[in-house]
């Protein structure tokens, strides 16, 4: 009950933050999707989120999500992988998630394409994770490799590229964090022009930096801490 009460209060506060940021950016609230990041929490977390009207659930570990999802009663959730994907987990990831946000190398594209074919998934939606800040501690393809990666996904038979994802710099300084979000949007615009496609999804912004992400055009913020409180197990996003 306590977890639930906190969650509802947190959701209220978070909605406030989102609304203010949207107002400041001259954007409509409906342009920004809120994903509930439930990693390290029990199935209670996605259940609460889904009963409160949220539909997107983010998890960063394949096995954890594969164990958790069957325990969740609501069927309306759209589950997305937001953590790094190892090749040996690719099949379980495709079976567990409705979308993978972290495609970051061409080799993985070939594998996912084959697996989707075998699993009977057509137009399986993916995002590319781009390490726009060229941060050696982060996953994601470099900006220079992003066009080749996008072309590989678009050339695959069973994957559909819906946009880009990034993780902001680990800093509480706007002048440090915000440029990464600006770069991701500019890269998206460039790829749309070069490839002649629409890439509507810009997945960026978390608890500490969602306002800057929204101001830079985020279409989806991924929020854990601000909804469910601090995680016990330390798991830095990568």
- Name the minimum Å distance from CB 2 to ligand PLP: 19
Residue with Cβ nearer ligand PLP (117 or 207): 207
- Name the minimum Å distance from CB 97 to ligand PLP: 13
- Name the minimum Å distance from CB 222 to ligand PLP: 4
CB-based burial, 170-207: b 16+ in 10 Å, e otherwise: eeeeeeebbbbbebbbebbeebeeeeeeebebbbbbbb
Residue with Cβ nearer ligand PLP (75 or 172): 172
What Cα–Cα distance (Å) separates residue 138 from each residue in 84, 110, 204, 217, 229?
10, 22, 14, 22, 24
C-alpha–C-alpha distance, residues 19 and 15, integer Å = 6
- Name the minimum Å distance from CB 228 to ligand PLP: 8
- Name the minimum Å distance from CB 166 to ligand PLP: 9
Residue with Cβ nearer ligand PLP (80 or 113): 80
Residue with Cβ nearer ligand PLP (17 or 91): 17
Residue with Cβ nearer ligand PLP (158 or 222): 222
C-alpha–C-alpha distance, residues 113 and 117, integer Å = 6
Write the DSSP symbol of residue 69. Answer: G
Write out the residues near ligand PLP by the rule CB under 6 A.
Answer: 37, 39, 60, 82-83, 167, 206-208, 222-226, 237
Nearest CA-CA partner of 189 in 220, 217, 160, 156 = 217
- What tokens appear for 29 in the block? 């609230």
Residue with Cβ nearer ligand PLP (156 or 177): 177
- Name the minimum Å distance from CB 204 to ligand PLP: 9
CB-based burial, 63-96: b 16+ in 10 Å, e otherwise: ebbbebbeebeeeebbbbbbbbbeeebbbebbeb
């Amino acid at each position: 009950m306590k977890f639930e009460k906190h969650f509802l209060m947190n959701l209220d506060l978070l909605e406030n933050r989102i609304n203010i940021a949207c107002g400041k950016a001259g954007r409509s609230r409906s342009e920004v999707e809120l994903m509930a990041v439930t990693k390290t929490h029990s199935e209670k977390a996605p259940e609460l989120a889904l009963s409160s009207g949220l539909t997107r659930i983010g998890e960063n570990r394949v096995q954890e999500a594969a164990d958790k999802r069957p325990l969740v009663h609501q069927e309306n959730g759209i589950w997305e992988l937001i953590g790094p994907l190892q090749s040996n987990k690719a099949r379980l990831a495709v079976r567990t998630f409705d979308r993978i946000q972290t495609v970051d190398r061409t080799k993985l594209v070939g594998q996912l394409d084959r697996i989707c074919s075998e699993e009977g998934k057509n137009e399986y939606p993916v995002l590319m994770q781009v390490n726009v800040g060229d941060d050696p501690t982060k996953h994601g393809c470099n900006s220079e490799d992003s066009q080749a990666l996008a072309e590989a996904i678009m050339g695959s038979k069973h994957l559909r590229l819906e946009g880009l994802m990034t993780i902001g710099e680990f800093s509480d300084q706007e002048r440090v964090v915000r440029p990464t979000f600006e770069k991701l949007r500019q890269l998206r615009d460039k790829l749309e022009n070069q490839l002649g496609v629409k890439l509507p999804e810009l997945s960026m912004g978390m608890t500490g930096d969602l306002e800057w992400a929204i101001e830079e055009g985020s279409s989806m913020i991924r929020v854990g801490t601000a909804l469910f409180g601090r995680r016990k197990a330390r798991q830095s996003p990568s």
